[in-house]
Amino acid sequence: MMKRLLALGALALAGSIGSAEASTITFEDIGVLSGTEVLYNGANDPISGGFRFDAASHSHIANRVWGTDNGGTSMVVDDVLGADAITVSALSGDPFALTSLDISEAHNSAFFTARQVEITGNLFGGGTVSKTLFLDNNLVNNVFANYFQTFVFDAGWGSLSSFTLNGAGALAGGGNYYAIDNVVVDRAVPEPGTLSLLGLGSAFLFGRRRRTAVR
């Protein structure tokens, strides 16, 4: 009987984890004024929406600067001070799914913008997935506009511990400036009703074992 109850509890828990909570990381919670930016040196990483954006070198949280403008705040990355991979992970350490994100070329000169962004997802429990995101190269020198593109990810990106971004392909041979925004992630959320049921079941089993031991 006990084994059957434990098996049923495990099945109920597995079903409860199937629900997910979607959220969009916009960097607006950092509070950067329009026309300004905040520079992070790599030791002091920006945190937004419950996620850490860990820069190998440095990063910019910018609001309507660096040549690209979608009406709000975004994160700008470049490799001027050295290779600058950005690793994104949940502060909680829990697995998450990457659903989509917006990426734009960034700089006042189109010669220093990234032409593509390499993204690698580190799967929870081991293994990786990867993809090359090709930018449309519409940025015009010294003309501010919305150059962001939305990239969508499939179910293979559904259980990540983190993901890493690297810009590449600048015509000038360096710089590789790009901006990210509107990072949509899904996090597993246990259903309260199922957790309560499991708690009651555990209490029942514990009490039953104690009565058996007393006999």
Residues 173 and 184 in one domain: yes
Alpha-carbon 195 to chain mean position: 27
CATH number of the CATH domain containing 114: 2.60.120.260
Percent of the chain with pLDDT over 90: 73
This prediction has a pTM of: 0.80
pLDDT of residue 211: 47
**Range with lowest mean pLDDT among 38-42, 132-136, 167-171, 199-203:** 199-203
Summarize pLDDT for 63-81 with one digit per residue, the tens.
999 999 999 999 999 999 8
DSSP structure string for the chain? -HHHHHHHHHHHHHHHTT-EEEEEE-SGGG-PPTT-EEEE-SSS--EETTEEEEESS-EEEEES-TTB-SSSEEEEE--TTS---EEEEETT---EEEEEEEEEE-SSSGGGB-SEEEEEEEETTS-EEEEEEE-----BTTB-B---EEEE--GGGSSEEEEEEEEE--TTSS--BEEEEEEEEEEE---HHHHHHHHHHHHHHHHHHHHHHH-
Instruction: State both tokens at 45.
Output: 């990483």
Q: Based on the domain organization, do 146 and 164 belong to the same domain?
A: yes
Question: 167 and 117, same structural domain?
Answer: yes
- The pLDDT value recorded for residue 60 is 97
Q: Give me the pLDDT at residue 189, please.
A: 61
- Number of structural domains in the chain: 2
Hey, how many other C-beta atoms are within 10 angstroms of the C-beta on 28? 14
pLDDT at 110 > cutoff 90: yes
Q: Give 114 or 190, the one with higher predicted confidence.
A: 114
- Judge if 3 and 29 occupy the same domain: no
Number of residues written out for the chain: 215
In this structure, are 184 and 89 located in the same domain? Answer: yes
Domain that includes residue 5, residue range: 1-13+191-215
pLDDT digits over 155-213, tens only? 999 999 999 999 999 999 899 999 999 999 998 765 554 444 444 444 444 444 444 44
Pair (141, 99) in one structural domain: yes
Q: What percentage of the chain reaches a pLDDT higher than 70?
A: 78
pLDDT surpasses 90 at 106: yes
Q: Using only C-alpha atoms, what is the Rg of the chain?
A: 22
Confidence of residue 6 (pLDDT cuts 50, 70, 90): very low
Kindly state whether residues 24 and 114 are assigned to the same domain: yes
Burial of 96-105, coded b for 16+ CB within 10 Å and e otherwise, reads bbbbebbbbb
pLDDT band at 13 (very low <50, low <70, confident <90, very high): very low
Same domain (yes/no): 129, 212 = no
The residue to which tokens 């309560």 are assigned? 196
Mark whether 94 and 119 lie in a shared domain: yes
pLDDT above 90: residue 147: yes
Is the domain of 47 the same as that of 153? yes
pLDDT classification of 99: cutoffs 50, 70, 90: very high
Same domain, residue pair 115 and 155 = yes
Q: Are residues 76 and 144 in the same domain?
A: yes
pLDDT of residue 42: 80
